[in-house]
Amino acid sequence: MIEISRLTKRYSTKVAVADVTFTAPPGAVTGLIGPNGSGKSTTIRALLGLTRPTHGTATVDGCQYGDLGPYPLRRVGALLDNAAPVPERRGVDHLRWIAQTNGISRRRVDEVLEQVDLTGAARSRVKQYSLGMKQRLGIAAALLGDPDVLVLDEPMNGLDPEGIRWIRELLRRRTAEGATVLVSSHFMTELESVAERVVVLARGQVRAEGTITEVAGGFESLEAAYFHHTTVSV
């Protein structure tokens, strides 16, 4: 279970998020959606212990990320949109380095490379990877510890239609096994067919939260509800 409670983050005079509260339950994909600059990445960074909140909390199973123990990757797997591996490093070595620092076996590295269909490119240098291949490598890193919680920031960026279909199937499998999945995107249509719940952010505030049916409400579609919630001033 992911719980965000009254999360506020200020940078000098700028408020990135203000009193953000929502939950992402196990066994479901929760989509964190909103336009660029809405506060999605700030919320995720606070959850992963990369940003200290000005006020409020962001926890996984009641714990802050820093309290998850010496091997947090076994509890929470994460993909950050701006986290790039070293270009000169081979893909397999990037994953082996992460695995070693989290007490994970090399055999698991081979397993996740196969899961994300990168076995054939594992010994190529990352600088030779396409954007979609880099996304798959990042997802492989998130899966290394076989965690019960996945936090993926814009995971569909750079993926072709086949890649988008692949990641949707992956997320469905993980939630069927009881995992908690939080996925951010500024493209609502990317998540509509996979997310059971959505949280709509705009200008650093939660504008709507609930199942897709609940958020769509009286609008003719979820897309119409999304544009209403993200463009109307509060």
Main-chain dihedrals φ then ψ at residue 17, nearest 5 degrees: -140, 150
pLDDT surpassing 70 at residue 82 = no
| CA 215 to the chain's CA centroid | 20
At CA 147, angle to CA 113 and CA 177, rounded to 5? 95
Q: Which domains are delineated in the chain?
A: 2-83+149-231 (3.40.50.300)
* Residue that has been written with the tokens 């240098």 in this structure: 125
Decide if pLDDT at 85 tops 70. Answer: yes
* CA–CA gap between residue 200 and residue 35 (Å, rounded): 9
Q: Quick: pLDDT tens for 175-205.
A: 999 999 999 987 777 788 889 999 999 999 9
Predicted local distance difference test score (pLDDT) of residue 36: 86
Please write the tens of the pLDDT for every residue from 26-71: 999 999 998 888 999 999 999 999 999 999 999 999 999 999 989 9
Residue found by looking up tokens 């992402």 in the block: 24
First to last CA, the chain: 29
- HSE at residue 105, side-chain half, CA atoms within 13 A, is 4
Amino acid in position 65: Y
User: Which pLDDT does position 81 carry in this prediction?
Assistant: 72
Q: What is the pTM for the complete model shown?
A: 0.92
